[in-house]
Structure 1
C-alpha cells in the first residue's frame, strides 16, 4: 500500500516466515481477534485447498504418459522439470502480483513464485515424487504492484531423491536433490531455506489473495481471506500482522494492536510487524511507545539495500528526483550489483533530462541483471537512451 511520509511499510507481507519445529503459544485465542466486522465489499468463498493444488485433466494425462515412458525416478525428474519449464517458458511467466491455483496458472500463463511452486508441487506429486516446499529467507524486499507498495517473500520447491535401503527401514541412500526455483537471483545468492508445510503454503496463498482484495478496496473479501489463512495455519505470523493492517485502516485500533502483538508473539523478530505497530502508536499520538520500536526498525533496515531502493522508488513516484537519486546511490553503496537501483538512477536522471547519465546507469543495470528477461528489457531501454543522447 502507499507508504506515509515516515515510510513504515504498512503493506502486506507476502510469503515471509518459516516453519517452526515447536509451535509457540499464542497471546490471544484466534476467536478473540476474528470478530467478523462489517466491512465494505462483496465476498466470495476462498478457494479450497483441493482447488489450489488440483491439476487440469489434460496436464494429468501428460504426466501419466511420462510415468509410462520413464523407467527410473531420475528420468522422471528430468522429464517433469522439462514439462514445468515448458509451461513457464524458461521463467518468462513470472508475475509478482499473480497468485493462482495450479490450474489457473496453466490456463493464464502468468503467476508468481508461490503459484509456480504450487504447480510444480502438484505435478511432482502426480508423478509419485517426494516434494517439499521451502521458505527462502531473503532480506526485506519491496515491489510496486497495483499502485501499492508490497513487502515480498519467496518460496521454492525441493524434489527429494532419497531411496530406502532394502531391509534397513529408516535409512536412505543419499542422492542429490533438485531445487525448483523460478527466481534466478534467489538461487544465485544461496539464501537460507527452511521446509514448510502444505498448510502454510495454503495460508500464504490466502494472504496474497487478501492483499489484492485489500488493494482493490474490497475489505470484506480481504478479511475473509485472512480468516481462511488463519484457519489453515494459525501460527503463520504474517496473517495476524496483515489482519492488523486491515483493522487499522478501518479505525479498529484496539483490534489492530492486539493482532500485531499476536504476530510478534509468533515471530518476535518481524521488522515489518514492529514497524506496523510503531506506525499505529504514532498515529494514536503514543510517541513514547512508537519511538523505541522505530529505533529497532531503523537499526535493522539501515544496512538493507532494498530498504533504500524502496525509499528511492517512493521518492521517484513523488517526483522528488534528487531524493530518489540519494536513496538509489545508498542502495548501490550497500550492494554494487543491485540492478534495480541502477535502473532507478537511470530513470531518475532521464526524468531530469540528463540522458547521458541515464544511459550510463542503464548500462550498469544491464550488466548486473540476473536474468535474460531483465537484460533484454534494459538493453531495449538503453538503445532508446543512446539514440536520445546522440540526438543532442
Structure 2
C-alpha cells in the first residue's frame, strides 16, 4: 500500500469510503431543523457573517520567484526541458524542497518555507511552470484508503499533483512520482476547484490547532466555492461537534449524506447519536459503515493484515481472496497472499501469488518479488 507522502485532505474523525450516490436514512428520521444557510452563517459559533479568511492566490509569483526561475531555467527551452529544470531547481540544487504532510502552503509560502505537502509542491510547480510559459494544470488523484492501526479510522485520500500538456502527449508532475500509479482514478481541476481544496485543508488544519473561527472561515470559503462537496460538509459538522453544537453537527453530517452518502458522515453520525443516547440510530449508521467497509477491498486487506499478524492464516487467505476479486490489480494483495500460503507450507501456491504480484507491480517492486521467487526456488 503506497501513499506515505500523500496529503490526507478530507474529513476528520472516524472516516470511511463514500460508496454510492443515493442518500440513505433510517425510517422515521426527520430533516434537520437547521438549514444549510444557517450552518454557513456562523451565528451559532459567534462568528460574523461578513468575516472571511485573508484573500489568497495559490499561484501568485513575486520578483524573488521570477529571479529564481531565471537563475535555474533559461528562456527559450521546450516545455519538456523546462519542467525538468524546474523540478531539479525545486528538489535538488535550488530550494531542496522538503516534504511535510501537514503543511499546506500557497506557491509563495512554499517558496520561502522550502517545505510543504503535495498541494504546496503542486502550487509552487504550477506557478513557476506557468510563469515559464508551460501549460500546467491541477490534477486530483484518488488513492487507496488506509486505516489506523486500531482499524477505527479510515482515511479516504485525495492527492493533488500537476498535469502538463506537451506538444505530443502529457506528463504528470508529482512530488513523489515513484508512488504514483497511472491506474488511480484522476481528474483535472480548475484553479477554483484547487482553491476550494486549499480552504478545506486549511479548515482541517485550524480545527486541529483548536482555532475554531479560522477553521470555520476556511470551511465556509470552500463551500461557497463548491457547495456540493460532501466531505467539506462532514468537516463542518465535525467542527460544530467539537464546539458542542450537536444539533448543527447532525445537520452538517446529514447534508453530506444527502449529497454523496458520505460514509465519513455516517460514521460520525453513529458516534453522535451514541453520545446523545440514541442507540437505535447509532446502531443503524454503524451498520452502514460496516457495510461500506466490507465492500471495499482495501479494508479487507487491512483485516487480512490483522489476521496474518495473529497467525490466523485461514482468515487472512479468505479476506485476501475476496479483496482480489474486488480489486485484481493491487500487487500488495498478492504479496500478502503469497506470504500467507508460505506460512501454511503451500510453496507452489505462494510462488504463484508472488508471480502475480510481480505482474501487477512497478519496476522497483518487481525486483523485490523476483528476489523472493529466487529464494523460493532455492528451498
Q: TM-score range with shorter-chain normalisation? A: 0.5 to 0.7
Unaligned segments of structure 1, at least 5 residues: 1-7, 15-24, 38-44, 162-174
Unaligned segments of structure 2, at least 5 residues: 1-10, 18-34
Q: Distance in 2 between matches of 1:158 and 1:202?
A: 17
Q: TM-score under structure 1 normalisation?
A: 0.61
Q: Secondary structure at the match of 2:260?
A: coil
Q: Is the Cα contact below 8 Å between 2:163 and 2:172 reproduced in 1?
A: yes
Q: How big is the shift at 1:241?
A: 0.6
Q: Distance in 2 between matches of 1:109 and 1:363?
A: 42
Q: Is the Cα contact below 8 Å between 1:204 and 1:229 reproduced in 2?
A: no
Match of 2:132 in 1: 127
Candidates 158, 161, 167, aligned match of 1:156: 161
Match of 2:85 in 1: 83
User: Over aligned residue pairs, what C-alpha RMSD do you find?
Assistant: 5.1
Q: Are the structure 2 counterparts of residues 233 and 246 from structure 1 closer, same or farther at C-alpha, using a change threshold of 3 Å?
A: closer
Deviations for 1:332-364, whole angstroms, at most 9, x for unmatched residues?
3322331333455578899x8989899867776
Q: Are the structure 2 counterparts of residues 192 and 205 from structure 1 closer, same or farther at C-alpha, using a change threshold of 3 Å?
A: closer
Candidates 205, 229, 236, aligned match of 1:243: 236
**Mapping 1:241-390, distance limit 5 Å:** 241-248=234-241, 252-265=245-258, 267-290=259-282, 293=285, 301-312=293-304, 315=306, 320=310, 322=312, 326-342=318-334, 365=357, 368-370=360-362, 372=364, 378=368
Q: Distance in 2 between matches of 1:97 and 1:316?
A: 30
Q: How big is the shift at 1:30?
A: 0.5
Match of 1:142 in 2: 146
**Which protein has greater RCO, CA pairs closer than 8 Å, 6+ apart?**
2
Match of 1:3 in 2: none
Match of 2:26 in 1: none
Q: Secondary structure at the match of 1:151?
A: strand
Q: Secondary structure at the match of 2:215?
A: helix
Match of 1:196 in 2: 190
Q: Distance in 2 between matches of 1:80 and 1:97?
A: 27
Candidates 114, 117, 120, aligned match of 2:119: 114
Q: Distance in 1 between matches of 2:300 and 2:372?
A: 24
Q: Distance in 1 between matches of 2:223 and 2:191?
A: 9
Q: Distance in 2 between matches of 1:34 and 1:354?
A: 62
Q: Is the Cα contact below 8 Å between 2:205 and 2:215 reproduced in 1?
A: no
Match of 2:76 in 1: 70
Q: Secondary structure at the match of 1:193?
A: strand
Match of 2:220 in 1: 230
Q: Is the Cα contact below 8 Å between 2:101 and 2:117 reproduced in 1?
A: yes
Q: Secondary structure at the match of 1:188?
A: coil
Q: Secondary structure at the match of 2:162?
A: strand
Q: TM-score under structure 2 normalisation?
A: 0.63
Q: Are the structure 2 counterparts of residues 128 and 340 from structure 1 closer, same or farther at C-alpha, using a change threshold of 3 Å?
A: same
Deviations for 1:256-313, whole angstroms, at most 9, x for unmatched residues?
2122133345x33433323333443355443554566556555555443223234445
Match of 2:41 in 1: 31
